[in-house]
Amino acid sequence: MHAVDPKRVDLCREFYDNPFGPHGTELQKLIKLLRWERIESRYILVQLRRGNLWYLAHTTGPKGHPVEIFREQEFADLGTAYWALFKARWEANSGVRLVFDGVDNPATPRPGEGDLTTNAADRPILSYSDIFSVRPGERIEFKVSVEGDKAYHSEIVRLRCGDDMSEGPSFRETALDTEVSGDYSARAQAIEVGSYIEVGQVNAFAAENFARDGFTLQARIWPTMPSRGPQALLANWDAATTSGYALAIDDEGALALYIGDGRDLFIIGTGVPLLARHWYLVAASYDPSERQVWIGQRALVRFPRGDTTASGEAGIDLEPARGPGFRIAAWHEGATWSAGHYNGKIDTPEMASRAMTRAEREAFLADAIAADFASDSAARWDFAREIPGRRIVDVSGSGFDGETVNLPTRAMKGWNWDGSEYNWTRKPEHYGAIHFHDDDLYDCGWETDFAFDVPQDFPSGIYCAKQTLGRHEDYCPFVVSPPVGTSTASLAFLLPTASYWAYADRHSEVEWRERENVTGYWAALDPSALYLHEHPELGCSLYDEHSDGS
């Protein structure tokens, strides 16, 4: 096992004298070792304002987790900051304080001594446009969100140089006189993150429709983070008012049925946590005539020493409220918001307009046989239909189609996948699962604050809508291309926009453990990277992992 040798202080001196390299072979080995720390607990560097001071910091986990910043020590240049980071990691690995002659070595701050925060990157204004490339005569719309109530100023600028590094040619822009220039009222626009299926149909799935014969919720699920907390599976449920009904995963990671009338809440669970990344047949049944509820989870693969098949049954005096509308993999949190996002796969979900019989429950638990509701099926969704689109097809004949929200992953291997076909287009019935994530994001869906109609004589180039709020600035870039079939310049410039989108919103500084050894640079979060780490609702890049590791 590799370990830091506390006697090799000479290697530390070599790094102190030359933090940027090149380094000798022995120091390279040491650096590689120091760069192989867990992302949940490692020293990094952060910069709170671009071009300003650097600070030593300590991670506590992946995106969304607080960063502990040690503000007592400030570093004006990156070389000095690199030395502080090297020293902190060396001491953490060796267990020895690093001291050698002729060097001022203040004590390295320890975890717990800094400022634990998720709001260090002060960025009160954000913006984006509806399109990236526009031609003369076309319109581009801009959406802006501002913290607070102070007005902001917007203008169109042309970028002459985007390099703001001190050794570069310097950042240059040219402000343009357009109809956009002016002050605008501030407003905050929220981001709804997390994927689910919106079925809606408030009247069709209202609880009173099942007051005589009851209902059953049934599906096959493959949870990836069952211990993360309450997660909706099939729900006509408002968590803000505890109204309706929901088949869900509870606080303990077990299957549960929630029923609420807006005043009182009834929960029944199996009490047996679900295994992550295992297929289950799950169901919950409500019988109003018998005033009974039943719930069951049946592992599709059973282990002799760890069978997690379980069920529960109880009497109930509560009648569910009608609910706000039906969703799969999330529930309502008030009138418009979503919450309770599920992480994992769902296949063949169904709602029936009657309770399960005792024989059906016994077959369910003994042999993983799903109840066949036939004409009693209120809705049965086949995720293997129309896979390339957003529509979710109800094959029961009721016509209660749904629509995906925030782009969950379709064409995933389902509960019945047997390895006989690896191309979903040839055997879609084996790829009838959808993988949902609590950090999926397709479109923020913000409203437009202002638009720019590009003049006919506007030269092609790279532009920005520049927003200014006090000392804060936000640049929203866009490109003006020449009219189709014409050229307006002697030089053609091809922008690699596919690469831009692939790497946008990447969390690699913290979450890519191998990054330092691959790139040769120490983890250093500039204000944009720090803000992204603190705000996971902004989504992930093509190269990131979701919160469940997929």
Extract the tokens encoding 161.
Answer: 């140089």
Closest by CA to 245, choosing from 355, 345, 408, is 355
Residue 1's pLDDT band (cuts 50, 70, 90)? very low
Identify the weakest region by mean pLDDT among 32-46, 227-241, 343-357. 32-46
| pLDDT value at residue 439 | 95
| pLDDT value at residue 119 | 84
Q: Which element (helix H / strand E) includes 345? A: strand 344-352
| CA 178 to mean position of chain CA atoms | 37
Q: Is the pTM of this model over 0.85?
A: yes
In this prediction, residues 522-546 reach a mean pLDDT of 92
Identify the weakest region by mean pLDDT among 77-91, 93-107, 434-448, 533-547. 93-107
Closest by CA to 116, choosing from 60, 199, 194, is 60
Is residue 489 pLDDT above 90, yes or no?
no
In this prediction, residues 315-341 reach a mean pLDDT of 93
For the segment(s) 196-436, the CATH number from 3.30.590.10, 3.40.50.10420, 2.60.120.200, 3.40.50.300 is 2.60.120.200
| pLDDT value at residue 349 | 98
Beta bridge partners of 234: 247, 328
Closest by CA to 274, choosing from 249, 288, 254, is 254
In this prediction, residues 170-182 reach a mean pLDDT of 93
In this prediction, residues 3-20 reach a mean pLDDT of 92
Q: What digits encode the pLDDT tens for the residues 345-390?
A: 999 999 999 999 999 999 999 999 999 999 999 999 999 999 999 9
| pLDDT value at residue 104 | 65
Strand residues in 201-309 grouped as ranges (E): 215-223, 231-238, 243-249, 255-261, 265-269, 280-287, 292-299
Is residue 525 pLDDT above 70, yes or no?
yes
Percent of the chain whose predicted confidence (pLDDT) is above 90 = 78
Q: Give me the amino acid identity at 469.
A: L
| pLDDT value at residue 121 | 85
DSSP state of 536: G
Is residue 168 pLDDT above 70, yes or no?
no
Tallying the residues shown for the chain, one arrives at 550
| pLDDT value at residue 490 | 87
| pLDDT value at residue 165 | 66
Is residue 339 pLDDT above 60, yes or no?
yes
Closest by CA to 369, choosing from 352, 383, 356, 353, is 356
Residue 100's pLDDT band (cuts 50, 70, 90)? confident
Residues of the chain with CATH 2.60.120.200: 196-436
In this prediction, residues 286-312 reach a mean pLDDT of 92
In this prediction, residues 34-61 reach a mean pLDDT of 90
In this prediction, residues 507-528 reach a mean pLDDT of 90
Helix, strand, coil in percent for the chain, rounding step 5: 15, 35, 50
Please identify which residue in the block is written with the tokens 């007051």. 211
Burial of 468 (0-12, 13-18, 19+ CB in 10 A): middle
Closest by CA to 522, choosing from 144, 1, 78, is 78
Average pLDDT score over the chain? 93
Residue 88's pLDDT band (cuts 50, 70, 90)? very high
Residue 200's pLDDT band (cuts 50, 70, 90)? confident
Percent of the chain whose predicted confidence (pLDDT) is above 70 = 99
Residues of the chain with CATH 2.60.40.1930: 125-190+445-492
The CATH H-level (homologous superfamily) assignment of domain 125-190+445-492 is: Macroglobulin (MG2) domain (2.60.40.1930)
